[in-house]
Amino acid sequence: MTIKTKSLNGNIGLEILGLDLSKPLSDIDREVLYKNWLEAGILLFRNAAATPEQQLQLSRCFGELEIHPIEDLRVEGYPELIQLTNKGNYTEPLFSYDGIPTVGRIPWHIDLIYTPSLNRGAVLRMVERPPQCGETGWIDGAAAYDELSDELKHRIEGLEARYEFVIDVRQMRFGLEGEVDRLSDDLRQFPEFRPVAHRLVLEHPETGRKSLCISPVQLINIVGMENAEGDALLQILVDHLLEPRFSYVHDWQEGDMVIWENWRCLHMAFGHAPDVSRLVHRTTIKGDQTFGRVI
């Protein structure tokens, strides 16, 4: 088949055109998709998948898939698929953002930054779209790094940030916007994670391209730097990273899929009202690199 591309709004990421997942993908198709993923970091497929099988076929173009350790999250019959939803018995903590009750909101973050190893990426497919809100956003950390001044690039080279597992977003030290109140408890059980350190600059092992590797949700401080100096530097970097010119926010339609590279991009779920339903299927691509260290 003939695969074409076009830039997403703001030239962050690519939309893939001409992909037919009702048929098996050829080796050439897979190579083209993987090459575009490396170059862009974020790929959008509009109304491309109607079934779990089609999502899995696409996901496997980018690497081996993980099986989620929590069985209750898995889609029945598809151990590599999990469902993200507020439907049925799936409960999420309820927060109020500037007085608006919201579920499913997760501020800007990098998956598994609170562990030494990061998963390679993930694919989201919108199965049931809420009538309002529910968008997902991505930030291109490579584009953000490229726009840093040479002086700032030199200053942060080799520096590490400390990360800790954060459940309650009100504990965020950086990047939390507006007034946030917690309206319900999260009854899920989470494992214990020891603090880890990751470099502020991640060099991609395949392309060599550098990215600004900062995950605001779990960000604590700069390792080995006085808090006042380190916090000031992190605030400059977070403010830069969150500039809209580095982000793409997707207003979903059912059947849309987005894949992003977690070694390069941050993402955010904007959340939605608690009285409407949203259902997303996710596949996760395994990582084979260790970027951080346990402190």
Average pLDDT, the chain: 92
What is the spatial distance between Cα 170 and Cα 178, in angstroms, rounded to a whole number?
A: 11
- Of 289, 280, 285, give the one whose Cα is nearest residue 80: 285
pLDDT score for 88:
62
187: pLDDT strictly greater than 60: no
Residue whose token pair is 């490396």:
38
Residues 142, 289: contact at Cβ < 8 Å? no
What burial letters (b/e) apply to 123-160, b meaning 16+ CB within 10 Å? bbbbbebbeebbebbbbbbbbbbeebeeebeeebeebb
Q: Is the pTM of this model over 0.85?
A: yes
Q: What is the pLDDT confidence band of residue 131, given thresholds at 50, 70 and 90?
A: confident
The count of residues in the chain is 295
pLDDT score for 89:
58
Please report which residue ranges of 22-132 form alpha helices under DSSP H.
27-40, 52-59
pLDDT one-digit tens code per residue, 71-111: 777 888 899 999 888 876 556 677 788 888 888 889 999 99
pLDDT score for 188:
62
DSSP label at 23?
S
Q: What is the pLDDT confidence band of residue 274, given thresholds at 50, 70 and 90?
A: confident
CATH class of 4-294: alpha beta
Take residue 250 and report the two structure tokens written for it: 């997707």
Average pLDDT of span 165-169? 87
